[in-house]
Chain A
Amino acid sequence: QKEVEQNSGPLSVPEGAIASLNCTYSDRGSQSFFWYRQYSGKSPELIMFIYSNGDKEDGRFTAQLNKASQYVSLLIRDSQPSDSATYLCAAYSGYSTLTFGKGTMLLVSP
């Protein structure tokens, strides 16, 4: 059974710090990986996706993928209180559905 694992948190970081969110996946056939941000009471919002080993940067966000270790991470630089949310990791294996983790809650304190 395909699984995506995330630490539920909360992960607490001070404003201005780097937040590191991690995710592991079980299906070696997974082709691409997604990070969604979900504010309380809102729907998930796609932040980034990555499909090649290494790093992918977009503004303050960097996604990292290591297929050998089946590990995906999201780094948020210069964290802001507005980054406080639940971050969902998802994997796509070429079948119809994404496999979602349960999410990590991030709290950024001023």
Chain B
Amino acid sequence: SAVISQKPSRDICQRGTSLTIQCQVDSQVTMMFWYRQQPGQSLTLIATANQGSEATYESGFVIDKFPISRPNLTFSTLTVSNMSPEDSSIYLCSVRPGQGDGTQYFGPGTRLTVL
């Protein structure tokens, strides 16, 4: 498995501001993903963070709103830009260590509240 940490664990932000969430893994991983989970809802994939190139975004998510970086095989950031109360959610980093069976592990999550 992989040990994943996220910072911050939670934050309360004002409308119109931006927040950058960091995800650090204790070993090199093949793939890193960012998900959003709103209260009582299932997981929604935001994007796949690609090492050294632009992230691959899912339908409904755009780079201007959710810029993502992945400078190496153990670290990624997700920025939530120009926040509104609708962005209040839990943001989860997920990693896939290998290339075989699709196994993914999740970080502890960042709970974001936008006022």
Contact = CB atoms under 8 A, between A and B. Distances in A.
Please classify the interface of chain B as helix (H, G, I), strand (E, B), loop, or mixed, using the class held by over half of its residues: loop
B43 A100 contact: yes
Contacts of A94: 102
Contact of A32 (B48, B56, B101): B101
Interface stretch (A16-24, A40-48, A57-65): A40-48
A43 B109 contact: yes
Nearest to B103: A49
A31 B106 contact: no
B106 A44 contact: yes
Nearest to B105: A46
A42 B106 CA distance: 10
A66 to B, nearest CB: 18
A52 B106 CA distance: 24
Contact of A100 (B1, B42, B90, B107): B42
A71 interface: no
Contact of A92 (B42, B48, B101): B101
Nearest to A44: B106
Contacts of B56: 96
B112 interface: no
B95 to A, nearest CB: 11
B105 A31 contact: no
Interface string A92-110: 1010111011110000000
Interface string B72-115: 00000000000000000010100000000111111111000000
B33 interface: yes
B101 A43 contact: no
Given A43-B92, A88-B43, A101-B42, 6 more contacts: A44-B92, A46-B1, A51-B101, A92-B102, A96-B48, A97-B45
Interface of B: 1, 31, 33, 41-43, 45, 48, 56, 90, 92, 101-109
Interface of A: 31-32, 34, 36, 42-46, 49, 51, 88, 90, 92, 94, 96-98, 100-103
